[in-house]
């Protein structure tokens, strides 16, 4: 029997959503490819998380630890790639400054004991990366990105304030369901910027 079937399924649905959104971005430029890689990283984290929630009882402790560490690493890489992707329009010097800062942030996270890095801490890191992306955002897509961040914050809130009993869902499932919407908003923001840039290049 799967230990947490609904949590596992929603994790796997997020993984599929991320792979689909990543594929849709590959036809654009360099920045969008970085975003695609970030979506893939989120998808990997979701797939590993679903496996951990659903099948931990069937696996050995070392394997479970490996899966958990992989989940943490994938989220950290996704946060890094989001910041890198958002620097595409900056002057080369400022781009490298932000990439270096993102690299330092990633290294600090990797040096932090992964076993002690709770799920909530990973969500906070993810939200901080999106906040930096919004700070660097330029032109079209701002509203979609802001919406994605707000909805991601609401999703994180589901982990702290459980959904009403009428929904009969665990906090993690609530987080997953809301986060699916947030990921789509982020994708729409990235696509809007790419389409605007494409029109400018053609004009």
pLDDT in tens, 7-20: 999 999 999 999 99
Query: Is the confidence at residue 80, as pLDDT, over 90?
Result: yes
Angle at alpha carbon of residue 183, lines to 85 and 74, rounded to 5°? 65
User: Could you tell me the two tokens for 176?
Assistant: 């997953």
Nearest one of 44, 19, 22 to 190, comparing CA atoms: 22
Q: Of residues 162 and 141, which shows the higher confidence score?
A: 141
- Report the CATH fold assignment for 5-202: Rhopdopsin 7-helix transmembrane proteins (1.20.1070)
pLDDT in tens, 143-188: 999 999 999 999 988 887 766 654 677 888 999 999 999 999 999 9
Q: Give the model's confidence band at 123: pLDDT under 50 very low, under 70 low, under 90 confident, else very high.
A: confident
How many CA atoms does the CB half-sphere of 190 hold within 13 Å? 34
Q: Give the model's confidence band at 119: pLDDT under 50 very low, under 70 low, under 90 confident, else very high.
A: low
User: Could you tell me the two tokens for 126?
Assistant: 């993810």
Q: Of residues 39 and 162, which shows the higher confidence score?
A: 39
Q: Of residues 1 and 129, which shows the higher confidence score?
A: 129
Q: Give the model's confidence band at 3: pLDDT under 50 very low, under 70 low, under 90 confident, else very high.
A: confident
- Range with the lowest mean pLDDT among 36-40, 81-85, 128-132? 128-132
Query: What are the sequence ranges of the domains in the chain?
Result: 5-202
Contact 180, 13 (CB under 8 A): yes
- Rounded to whole angstroms, how far apart are CA atoms 34 and 14? 19
pLDDT at residue 201, as a whole number: 65
Placement of tokens 């781009």 in the chain: 95
């Amino acid at each position: 029997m799967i230990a947490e079937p609904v949590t596992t399924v929603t994790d796997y649905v997020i993984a599929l959503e991320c792979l689909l959104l990543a594929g849709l971005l590959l036809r654009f430029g360099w920045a969008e490819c970085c975003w695609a890689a970030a979506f893939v990283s989120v998808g990997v984290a979701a797939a590993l998380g679903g496996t951990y929630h659903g099948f931990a009882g069937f696996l050995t402790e070392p394997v479970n630890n490996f899966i958990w560490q992989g989940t943490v690493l994938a989220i950290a890489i996704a946060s890094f790639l989001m910041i890198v992707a958002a620097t595409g329009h900056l002057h080369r010097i400022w781009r490298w400054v932000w990439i270096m800062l993102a690299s330092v942030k990633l290294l600090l996270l990797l040096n932090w004991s992964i076993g002690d890095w709770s799920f909530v801490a990973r969500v906070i890191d993810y939200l901080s990366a999106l906040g930096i992306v919004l700070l660097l955002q330029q032109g079209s897509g701002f509203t979609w990105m802001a919406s994605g961040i707000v909805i991601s914050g609401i999703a994180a809130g589901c982990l702290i304030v459980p959904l009403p009993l009428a929904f009969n869902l665990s906090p993690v499932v609530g987080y997953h369901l809301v986060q699916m919407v947030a990921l789509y908003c982020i994708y729409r923001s990235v696509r809007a910027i790419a389409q605007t840039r494409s029109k400018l290049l053609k004009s």
